[in-house]
Amino acid sequence: MSAEKQTSDIEEFDTWMDEVASALAWHGGDVEATIRTLLADCKHLREQLALAQIAMGIGFTRGWSPCPERHDEVTR
């Protein structure tokens, strides 16, 4: 692994940790409240995506359709 790739991975991890810390801080360190909020946000965005899919015409996206499922893996 190159030094550049390692640095990139470290920076990406630091950014991820900052986001986690921010979410927890927003809820005063309450992990359960943080998870509940994130799940509610996820549900809301999936509903919005479903509505957008219904409203979109096939010609608008030239056959492409958004997918509500992630294809990447969640990393720690």
- pTM here? 0.63
pLDDT digits (tens, 9 = 90+) for 27-61: 999 999 999 999 999 999 999 988 888 887 766 66
DSSP tag of 29: T
Token couple for 74: 């969640």
Specify the pLDDT at position 45.
92
Which of 47, 26, 12, 46 lies closest to 35 in space, CA to CA? 26
